[in-house]
Amino acid sequence: MLGAILIFCSTLVYGAVHSLLASLGVKAAARKMFGPSADHWYRLGFNFAAGITLLPVLGLLAANIGPVLVAVPWPGWAILVTIELAALMLMAYTFQHSDPAFFMGFGQLGSAPSTAGLTTTGAYGIARHPLYLTGLLILWCFPILTTGTLAFDAAITLYILIGSELEERRLIVQFGEEYLRYRKKVARLIPFLF
């Protein structure tokens, strides 16, 4: 039980750090500290930091996987794995429509920082955060649930709910009325519902 609590708390700390680093305030502080070149390197550094800081959480999860709570039998596990594979394909499709170079941070490395426009087509036409949606489907449709994975999945879900709201505030600042109109037409996470 202690392992699950540690996983839950460390995942929430990871989410808080991730959201803080993505904030407009921290980006502005980096620009003030490093000058305009910060705009070229920030996203790449952010992605690197996100990957590195997730490793201890995953290590804690691996060390404290815990007892099995649910093991879905056949044919249920085949249905869940099919949903996961479909979500993974949708994630790849969505990523391709998200300006991958910009998303990864390489598009900003040129002489002038790249600016990605607001994407509202493809998967973004049915959910404002399709990458979060597909990530949640992959996590929650895994056919074996342990105390550790339950703690991780619950914390990631909470982080996505809070983080997507914080992200929306940044997008409103960035895109203004265009984003507000988009937000009225398209659900945040669950198509046609939420």
Classify residue 118: in a domain, yes or no.
yes
Is residue 108, in this structure, part of any structural domain at all? yes
pLDDT at 194: 67
Q: What pLDDT is attached to residue 98? A: 78
In a domain, 193, yes or no: no
Structure confidence by residue, pLDDT tens digits, 33-88:
999 888 889 999 999 999 999 999 999 999 999 999 999 999 999 999 999 999 99
| Number of compact structural domains in the chain | 1
Give the phi and the psi of residue 114 in degrees, each rounded to 5.
-75, 145
Judge whether 190 lies within some domain. no
Over the chain (194 residues), what is each successive 10-residue block's mean pLDDT?
93 94 91 89 92 95 95 96 96 86 82 68 92 96 97 97 94 94 94 78
**What one-letter code names the amino acid at 125?**
G
- Residue 115 confidence (pLDDT): 59
Range of the domain at 114: 2-185
Q: Is residue 194 part of a domain?
A: no
Task: Tell me whether residue 129 is in a domain.
Answer: yes
Whole-number pLDDT of residue 191: 86
Would you say residue 127 lies in a domain? yes
Q: So what's the pLDDT on residue 6?
A: 95
Sign of CA pseudo-dihedral 4, 54, 12, 158: negative
* Inside any domain, residue 98: yes
